[in-house]
Amino acid sequence: MSTNTSAFTPAVRFSPWRSVGLWISALLIGYMLFNAVRATLNPTAFAASFGIPLTNPGDDAFVLVYAIRALFLGLFGLALFVRRRYASLSLFLLVATVIPVGDALLVAQRGGEPTVVARHVAIAGIVLLTWFLTHRWVQRAGGDPQ
């Protein structure tokens, strides 16, 4: 007697847990939330690690603005992930590539270290790769799970 498991194959094959893009998405969401916390707890150190040190440590308002926006983006990405809106998460990732590209341009324009500029460019590449992998998985899986 043979057991036909073909009915279970599509569900397993397109499981979100088998998508590298979704795993990296989760890491990127965690990274964004981590940066929000880091920027809030020590704005001066965060600005320096970002590549644009503060000339006056008391002028940290824009770092805190960054933290608020990073918190929003991280929570929005988390909401898409938890609600299993992977197609929307994919689009979110594509649009989000603007952020590290803009960061790299800003740091380069301000005379930041080339290694810091390269780090921002690498993050842009990772976000773009994550978009590609997530988008490809969504297309193969036939959209978001119901």
Distances (CA, A) of 80 to 3, 61, 74, 75, 145: 37, 29, 10, 9, 12
Q: Please tell me the pTM assigned to this model.
A: 0.82
- Residue 10 is predicted with a pLDDT of 53
* C-alpha dihedral, 81 to 87 to 92 to 93, nearest 10°: 90
* C-alpha dihedral, 109 to 111 to 112 to 118, nearest 10°: 60
Give me the average pLDDT of each 10-residue run along the chain (146 residues): 52 68 94 96 94 89 94 96 94 96 95 95 96 92 73
- Residue 90 is predicted with a pLDDT of 95
